[in-house]
A and B are shown apart, each in its own frame.
Chain A
Amino acid sequence: AQRVTQPEKLLSVFKGAPVELKCNYSYSGSPELFWYVQYSRQRLQLLLRHISRESIKGFTADLNKGETSFHLKKPFAQEEDSAMYYCARSSFSGGYNKLIFGAGTRLAVHP
C-alpha cells in the first residue's frame, strides 16, 4: 500500500533554531509531494508542493528519490511557525490521482 510516514508526532524547537520535519513516502512511480499546514484555529492549507520548487514562509522541501524523502526545512524557526504539518503524496490508480496524507507532525516553536 502506498504510504506517507511522518515519524515525529511532535517537534519542539527554540526560536531561531533550524527545523526539519521528516517525511518519507513509499515508492511508486513519480509521485508529486506536498506539505500542508494547519495553524491554530485556521483551516488546513497548502504550504508548498514539490512541482513548484518554491520557498514559502522560509520553508523549503527537497525531493530525494533515492531516500524517498521530502523533508520540510527552515533555517531559522519563528514562533508563528508553530502549527500542525502534514506531508502528502499523489497516488494514481484507477485513472484518478488522489492524495495520501501522513499522520502529521506538530511543530512547537518556543521563545
Chain B
Amino acid sequence: EAGVTQSPTHLIKTRGQQATLRCSPISGHTSVYWYQQALGLGLQFLLWYDEGEERNRGNFPPRFSGRQFPNYSSELNVNALLLGDSALYLCASSFGQVSVGQETQYFGPGTRLLVL
C-alpha cells in the first residue's frame, strides 16, 4: 500500500514569495492534515481538510491557506513568505473521523521549505 506522498521534497523561496506544497493521502483516506515542524518547536497543527472542506485550523495567520481536491489530495499555500516560515511541513492522512478509532494519522515524508 502506498503511503502518504508529498511534493516537492525541498523548496527554496525568497521573502515575500508564495509557496505551494502538495500532498496525496493514502487511498481511501478522506482527511488530510498539515503540520509545521520548525526547529525546536515540535509539531504545530496548521490545517485539517475532510471531504473537501476545511474542518479546523491552528493558530496561524491567514496567509497560510489550502484546499482539498475531489480526489482528496491537498495543497498548502503560504503567501508573503517570511524567514520564520522555514520549516519542515508535514502532511498526514486518516479515514473519516466520525468514529473513535479512525483518528490514526499516517504521515508523509514532508517538504522542507527554506525561505531566504
Contacts and interface: CB of A to CB of B under 8 A. Distances in A.
Nearest to A95: B98
B42 A86 contact: yes
Interface string A79-111: 000000010001010111111111110000000
A104 B43 CA distance: 7
Q: Can you list the 7 inter-chain pairs with the closest CB atoms, starting with the nearest?
A: A103-B42, A104-B42, A44-B107, A97-B97, A101-B43, A43-B107, A43-B109
Contacts of B108: 43
B101 to A, nearest CB: 7
A34 to B, nearest CB: 7
A18 to B, nearest CB: 24
Nearest to A45: B107
- Size band of the A side of the interface? 20 to 34
A29 to B, nearest CB: 10
Interface string A40-61: 0001111001010000000000
A32 interface: yes
Nearest to A99: B103
B41 interface: yes
Interface string B31-66: 000010000111101001010000110000000000
Given A43-B110, A46-B104, A97 B42 contact: no
B28 to A, nearest CB: 17
Contacts of B50: 96
